[in-house]
Chains A and B, each alone.
Chain A
Amino acid sequence: MKTPASIVLSFALATGALAAGVRDIATTPFFITAPGHYAVVQHIVAAPMQAQPIITVSSPDVVLDLNGFTLDGNGSTHSAILIQSGSPRVTIRNGFIANCSDAPAIRALTADIHIEDISFRACVRPIFALARARIEGCMAWGGGAAPSSGDLIVVGNDASVRDTVIHGYTFGAISSNNAAIRIGEDATVQGCVIHDLVSPVAGTGVLHGVYGERNASLSDAAFFHWVRTNATGSVRASRLAEDGAMRRVAISAPAITPGWSPTEVTRVSESTSAFTHGYRGASLIMDSVAGAIAGFGRAFSDVDSVNGSVAAHAYYGYTTRENTTNHASYVRSVARNITLYGFYAQGRFTQIVECLADRVTGDVDSYAFNHAEVSGLMEDVIHCHASNSEQGFRHVRSGYFAGNSASMNVTNQFNVGGPTGARGVKFPPLGNNFIQQYPRLNFEF
């Protein structure tokens, strides 16, 4: 290689007036106290034991351009960038932040912050921001950071996280609900990838990909390969509170190894009471896939409504919250290569319509479709045509059970009845009066 003939210049010098109005940042600690446009002009490394953030913003209407450079926290317990309360409309963009060991790398104590095109390395908590924050085009790589509690990216109500990648974090013991991305009410996560999260230390908490409060939405996202390698706790791709919505999301290869606890991959509308928290069927999963869920993994767990989705290679396909979820709905969805239940609805007034289950291959307690409560609707469910399926339909109590078919190597196609009797019953093979005795068009082949 030749000796570089490059010239290192400040554009402020090189371009004169073109750079006018942009104030350089080359030292730390640096305090921004007036609105304006600021640019970092060299790598800045926090001093050992530095008692302040590298940059502190205490003014509204600031654009802070990292300009391709790195703010290195040097293991500091302080944030790289702190935005004080009462400093809205701050934009931070275009650079790297590294080695922040405890406090959020960017900590915004005010609403209306915009963070874009920032890459984080070895930052235990890359971003903490409040309401109406907008996070876009960011990348966070664990790089040895080991969060033991808390979340990676946190934004408040009405905020959005878009086009962001989080990967390669190894967590410590998790004792509560932790998440790669935590969002507030009415907030949005779109176009994000979360992969390679590992939780090797025993803990009682849950490691989530996305944890959202009510009315949150998650779309066009991919979750891939996150693992819990201890026997306690569980991992989930997402948990959205009531009235959340999830659309066009792919979940693959989460695993719990070894593990006896259920791995609940997707959790929408979590509540301990169906009556106090609504469960009005407003929470929705659409057009999503969940596959390769290892161990005791549940593809779609505790869901209100699933429409047009596929669950494959999991212990459970679709489950409602046991005994509490009413008005759950499974429509136009597929469960395939499932161990225990393809579709498992246990609340009242539920429906399973136009779904398909194949290869539910557990023991005699496994069912392709299991509807176990009163007043349910199981109408027009596709036949449980599963090769080597132990059971087809289980419909315990009263309800409307019609238009179902079971075929293809299902050992026990229908188990319908209960104290009050289901009003729709199966239709046996030939020789009976169809109209009078078997009006509900359930068939076994």
Chain B
Amino acid sequence: MSLFVAAGQHTLAGGGHVLLHQGDVPYTITTAGAYTLVENMIRTNGAAIVVEASDVVIDLNGFRIAGGGTSGAIVQQSGQHRLTVRNGQVGGDISAWYGILSAGMGNRLEDLNLQSCSVSAIFSGPGAMVRRCVFRGNAPFDPEFAVLNLGPGSIAEDVRFDGSGSTAGASLVRTGPGVIVRKMTASSTIAGANPTRLVLAGGGSVMSELRTGGQSSTNTLITASGPVVLADANLNDRVFLPTGGVIVDSVLSGFNHFGPGTMIDASFLSGSATNTGPMLVHDTRWPASVQFGDRSLVRRSMIRFPLVAGSGSYYLDNTGQGLSFTGAAHRIEHNDVGTFRASNSGAEPNYLFIRNRLNRDDIFIQILDNTNGHWGAWAPDQTLLSTDRTWSNVKK
């Protein structure tokens, strides 16, 4: 009777549920409906529950379900959709490849604590919704695997990862395109020679309120294809966005790499970075060595040691300890910087160097007045500009 009471305490709203016991293992669901555990269901080799119907709700009712071997605790068979699993523990002291293997569409997985899976704690098809789940001690052993693996058009919200990952280069979260990941935290993620990726997201995804703590700086957030949105993130990890996107209101502490078409605004990035292609940086503090690729626009930011590499960039209204630039056709304007270095001065044409202030007097750049196509000129003795002072570069 106590079992019924325990079940009932979580299901006050109604009845008609199929009650599941350890004695039912392995259990096959062939009819749509609601199923509720009234005790733990454990199977050491194989799935504890196989779902061969759509529109099934499994309420773990606070209990634990675990499978073993190359299967999972709960396995949804091919062609079945809209599986709901909620409210309990999945996995545990028995090693299994999967916690919940549900490749169908429209699955709902929420209020779960998932542990000890070596391929995926949750593997779900398109349009899934994963909410309020904790993933602990899951260690995918292949780079293609992920603790939480979601198909296109899914939502993951309020998900926490602790002590998960492996040295195999797997991911905590891997998604198809067009996915929302919100309120994700990760701590003590496993790193190593092939560090765990935090998120491997498809193009057109939106990621917000991501947090990491106690991470190895070798872990990585990376996007696979297409631009994404990363907002309100606080990550102590490498962030790679090779195909661009928007980063806003974020704090990023690891090494970074941003590809063409990246826009960063109102953020703090403390790690060094090597970027490629045109990007736009605005109102960003970046106290590190940062290399910008071709045709970038950097404005109103504090960047400690930027290297404006490639060609055709516009560096405007910034401050920093130093500024180096290579290549050609840069517009360097209205910056307040300690030292300027133009590594190919005298060889490459078309620098526009105007209205800058050099705030140290022991080092100066070698840009000459109107020679070799360097339009903006400044000389250490400030005399060459005295005839017209049109370029208005000044020295401390």
Contacts and interface: CB of A to CB of B under 8 A. Distances in A.
Mutual binders A and B: yes
A280 interface: no
A250 B312 contact: no
B33 interface: yes
A40 B5 CA distance: 20
Contacts of A4: 24, 27-28
Nearest to B157: A163
A360 to B, nearest CB: 12
A85 B50 CA distance: 43
Q: How large is the interface on A (under 10, 10 to 19, 20 to 34, 35 or more residues)?
A: 35 or more
A1 B244 contact: no
Contact of A11 (B11, B28, B229): B11
B15 A19 contact: yes
B282 A354 contact: yes
Interface residues of B, number: 99
A419 B375 CA distance: 31
A336 B244 contact: yes
B143 interface: no
B263 A309 contact: yes
B55 A119 contact: yes
A149 B297 CA distance: 46
Contacts of B296: 356
Contacts of A119: 55, 82, 84, 106, 108
Nearest to A380: B316
Contacts of A251: 204
A165 B155 contact: yes
Most chain A beta carbons < 10 A, residue from B82, B178, B313: B178
Nearest to A290: B227
Most chain B beta carbons < 10 A, residue from A22, A223, A287, A312: A287
Nearest to A167: B127
B261 A252 contact: no
A5 B24 contact: yes
Interface in A29-43: 37, 39-43
A358 interface: yes
A441 B154 CA distance: 48
Contacts of B244: 289, 310, 312, 334, 336
25 contacts: A1-B28, A11-B7, A11-B11, A18-B9, A40-B16, A67-B13, A69-B34, A139-B127, A163-B129, A222-B153, A222-B178, A248-B208, A252-B177, A253-B204, A289-B229, A291-B203, A312-B227, A312-B244, A332-B265, A380-B316, A383-B331, A386-B295, A429-B373, A433-B390, A434-B390
Given A7-B18, A167-B126, A222-B180, 20 more contacts: A1-B26, A1-B27, A9-B19, A11-B15, A15-B5, A65-B14, A70-B32, A70-B55, A141-B127, A191-B155, A193-B178, A223-B204, A224-B153, A289-B228, A332-B265, A356-B279, A356-B296, A385-B295, A407-B295, A407-B312
